[in-house]
Amino acid sequence: MWDASWRPSEEGRVGRTFVGGVLLLLVCLTAGCGGAKKAQKKVNDAEVHYILGVSYLQEGNPTLALKEFLQGERIEPGDAKLQAALGQAYHRKKAYAEAETHFQRALQLAGDDPQMQNNLGALYLDMERWDDAIVEFRRAAGNLLFLSPEVAYTGAGFAHFNKGEFQEAATAYREALDHRPTYPQAHFRLVEAYFALDRAEEAVGEFLQALYLAPNYTLAHYKLGITYLKLNRPKQARASFREVIRLAPASEAGRSAADYLKIIQ
| Residues shown for the chain | 265
Q: How many C-alpha atoms does 162 have within 13 Å on its Cβ side?
A: 16
Judged against a pLDDT cut of 60, whether residue 211 lies above it is answered with yes
107 domain-assigned? yes
| Residue range of the domain that includes 235 | 216-265
Residue 20 is predicted with a pLDDT of 27
Mean pLDDT score across all residues of the chain: 85
15 confidence band (pLDDT: 50, 70, 90): very low
- The pTM for the full model equals 0.75
- Report if residue 74 sits inside a domain: yes
Q: Residue 107's pLDDT is what?
A: 96
Of 80, 111, 142, the position where a domain reaches its end is 111
Question: Tens of pLDDT along 40-58?
Answer: 555 588 899 999 999 999 9
Q: What DSSP letter does each residue of 17-70 carry, written as one string?
A: -HHHHHHHHHHHHHHTTHHHHHHHHHHHHHHHHHHHHHHHHHTT-HHHHHHHHH
CATH number at residue 103: 1.25.40.10
Q: Is residue 123 part of a domain?
A: no
Is 88 domain-assigned?
yes
188-198 core/surface letters (b: 16 or more CB in 10 A; e: else)? bbbbbbbbbee
Residue 5 pLDDT grade (very low, low, confident, very high; cuts 50, 70, 90): very low
For residues 215, 191, 116 and 97, what is the CA-based torsion angle, rounded to 10 degrees?
Answer: -110
Is pLDDT of 111 > 60? yes
Q: Is 5 exposed, middle or buried (0-12, 13-18, 19+ CB in 10 A)?
A: exposed
Whether the CA torsion 192, 194, 200, 202 is positive or negative: it is negative
pLDDT beyond 80 at 31? no
Q: Is residue 116 part of a domain?
A: no
Does the residue 65 lie in any domain? yes
pLDDT at 43: 55
Q: Is the pLDDT of residue 36 over 90?
A: no
- Which of 111, 135, 153 terminates a domain? The answer is 111
Answer whether residue 115 shows pLDDT above 70. yes
pLDDT at position 60 is 93
- Domain assignment present for residue 201? The answer is no
Number of domains, the chain: 2
Region 64-77 average pLDDT: 94
Residue 233 has pLDDT above 70, yes or no: yes
Chain segment 183-200, per-residue pLDDT in tens: 989 998 999 999 899 998
Share of the chain above pLDDT 70, in %: 83
Where is the domain boundary, 93, 111, 129? 111
Any domain includes 96:
yes
